[in-house]
Structure 1
Amino acid sequence: MASVDECRQALHDLATRLDRHAEMPGKIDLDRTLACRITDLDTAFHGRLVGGRLVDLSDGDDPKAKIALITGSDDLVALVHGRLDITKAVASRRVSIKANPFDLMKLRKLL
């Protein structure tokens, strides 16, 4: 099981990667609150997706977040570091993403 610090670092790594991609043409126009809930650690993080970037990452849940990523700690780390395919993870229910259908289509481009 990954630690809370490893999950926090994975999310910061994801934010860094998204920053690099946001500079490319065709960036994703999405402004939504995001919560990442880690089921096996009983912890959460929240932030905002803005213009293809993940900003304002903080500890704690945002129950009103428009997008929620729910997963275990090891799966979060594997997903961020490219060892777990998001489509397969969602299909096998290792990862759950709660968002409206239009946001899900835009998110596919980010992930």
Structure 2
Amino acid sequence: MATTQECRAALDRLSDQLAAASPEVRSAAALDRSVSCHLKDLDVTFTGRLCPGGIEVTGTLAGAHPGPERSDAHRQKAAIRLTATGDDLVALVDGELDFAHAWAARRLTLDAGFRDLLTLRKLL
């Protein structure tokens, strides 16, 4: 089972990959949106922003994705929410797991607005 530190490192690698990607892929990553990544097996959620140049992880929270019912600014619902296990996140970032296959098999979920999903498909 992947550790919280390994998952954080995977998110850093993903950010580096986005920064070094083709202009078309970078344009998808140029969205300025709040993001969260919940790791079901570790019951931890990374929060941050998808912005030009990659993903900036700004926090780590215990439990599932923050929701709108919380008034704390650090626990606002993210515009883009990924849910997976730690192992699947690491495998996805390392290119060992195909996003479409994992999504179809319900190994991960991606929740976002329709426009964001259309833009994010370039990343997938």
Q: When the two structures are superposed, what TM-score results if normalisation uses the length of structure 2?
A: 0.80
Task: Call closer, same or farther: CA 1:101–1:52 in 2, change over 3 Å.
Answer: farther
Question: Which residue does the alignment assign to 2:35?
Answer: 34
Tell me the number of residue pairs that the alignment of Structure 1 and Structure 2 aligns.
109
1:25 aligns with 2:23: yes
Q: List per-residue Cα deviations over 1:35-69 (Å, max 9, x = no partner).
A: 00000001110111113621244322544100100
Q: List per-residue Cα deviations over 1:7-54 (Å, max 9, x = no partner).
A: 010001101111112xx4342241110000000001110111113621
User: Percent identity over the alignment?
Assistant: 44
Between the aligned partners of 1:84 and 1:110, the Cα distance in structure 2 is 14
Between the aligned partners of 1:110 and 1:58, the Cα distance in structure 2 is 23
Secondary structure of residue in 2 paired with 1:75: helix
RMSD over aligned CA atoms reads 1.6
Stretches of structure 2 that go unaligned for 5 or more consecutive residues are: 68-76
Stretches of structure 1 that go unaligned for 5 or more consecutive residues are: none
Between the aligned partners of 1:17 and 1:70, the Cα distance in structure 2 is 20
Between the aligned partners of 1:101 and 1:52, the Cα distance in structure 2 is 22
Question: Which residue does the alignment assign to 1:81?
Answer: 94
Question: Which residue does the alignment assign to 2:49?
Answer: 48
Structure whose alpha-carbon radius of gyration is higher: 2
Structure 2 residue identity aligned to 1:59: T
